[in-house]
Amino acid sequence: MPLLTQSFAQTANTSPLPAGETVIGGYLHVGNGNEVWSDATSLFFNYRGNATTTNFWNKATNSPTMSIVNSGTGMVGIGTASPISTLQVMDGSSGGSPTGTTPTQGILISGNNTAGSLNMGIDATTTFYSWIQSRNRTNGTFYNLALNPGGGYVGIGTTNSRNQLQIGSNPLDWNGNDFVVSNWHGGLAIYTGPTDTFLHSNKDINLKPGGNTSVYLTSSGKVGIGTTTPGAQLTVSRPGYTGTPANSSLAFINQSTNPNGTDLMPALELSNNGSDGYGLVSYATNNYLSGIVGIGTTSPGGYRLAVAGKVAADGEVRVFNTGTTTFPDYVFDPAYQLPTLEETEKYVNENHHLPEVPSAAEIEKDGMSLNGMNVILLKKVEELTLHLIQLKKENEQLNQRLKKLENQ
């Protein structure tokens, strides 16, 4: 190996190496323990020689442990005599894993006064992957890893990241987001502003915890819960529904199919602490509203439907007799004891309302049953009809007697 022949002023050996070293050329020193150092300001290898590689040889393995290739590019190889890049480090094993108690694999970069280190390597045991791990160099403690902590964007799978973290290319030309993942199909972007967090995609978004669709957001602005085909702005469906509901603002869908069966699971249920549920069950031709409903009131009083205010109906209102009310057909039974007009007159003079008809005070206090009142009024009409029939008969008898008197 050619040595430097330039003339430098020789200085005294200030190295802590033991005395008895050999001085070569006045500047290069070789100690008794195979130490090599120089008194010059610089130490050159192959500075003027023709060799292209300087090897640091391991006698035990009969191979170079580090090589410096001087071919004008200044490449350095550690663990290889033929580096193919500026710095190439070759691990003699498969590359290992960063999960051990101490970092025995890959490249280790660490400071002198800290236990923190950066460990990098390649695991070539199965699928061949590269890894990078921030860790403690003496135990199994792992630390955080910061990428571009001073600023700049980070890209994975792209060389042109324009977002804080971008995975994949950016065909959508989205810039300045916190996180972007995209490919040629489309992408998803997340951005946190001063007051809101935005989630943006040019495709439908399907949230599937456990593999089942939970929330489905369409690119047209519709939301489906339990369905991937929301026809309404918000469609809530029992799992398993595959149809498309009619376009509306809000749709609740249940999979019950038998109006007369026992599967009366409501499409919409309102409950208090998970009990006393009230719901709406809907079929193709029938709708069922279970429980108690109050409109304009929070005290329905045990009625199935309580309305505080006026009620209007366009068409027919039909009330069915379920056996709780007896219609007064019995008034026309010959055995029925028809109250006399004198009895009715006496009752009216004493109570100021018809018999069996609730008073104004009672109606003001307890309300009025439309069904019951109609039955009472019908009974009074039937009784009045009987009185009219009787009066007609008496009137005919009087007319006959009057004609007889006129003919005498």
Residues of the chain with pLDDT > 90: what percent?
A: 16
DSSP SS3 for 388: helix
Q: What is the mean pLDDT of residues 133-150?
A: 89
How many Å apart are CA 368 and CA 250, to the nearest integer?
Answer: 37
Q: Please give the single-letter amino acid code of residue 57.
A: W
Determine contact, residues 325/375, Cβ cutoff 8 Å: yes
Q: Is the pLDDT higher at 236 or at 113? A: 236
What end-to-end distance do the CA atoms of the chain give, in Å? Answer: 175
Tokens representing residue 404 in the block: 């007889």
Counting Cα atoms < 13 Å in the Cβ hemisphere of 137 gives: 15
At 167, give phi and psi (nearest 5°). Answer: -110, 115
Residues 379-388: pLDDT tens digits? 999 999 999 9
Q: Check residue 92 and give left, alpha or beta (phi > 0: left; psi -120 to 50: alpha).
A: alpha
Determine contact, residues 359/368, Cβ cutoff 8 Å: no
Least confident of 62-66, 85-89, 274-278, 309-313: 274-278
How many Å apart are CA 101 and CA 90, to the nearest integer?
Answer: 22
Label residue 222 by pLDDT band (50, 70, 90). confident
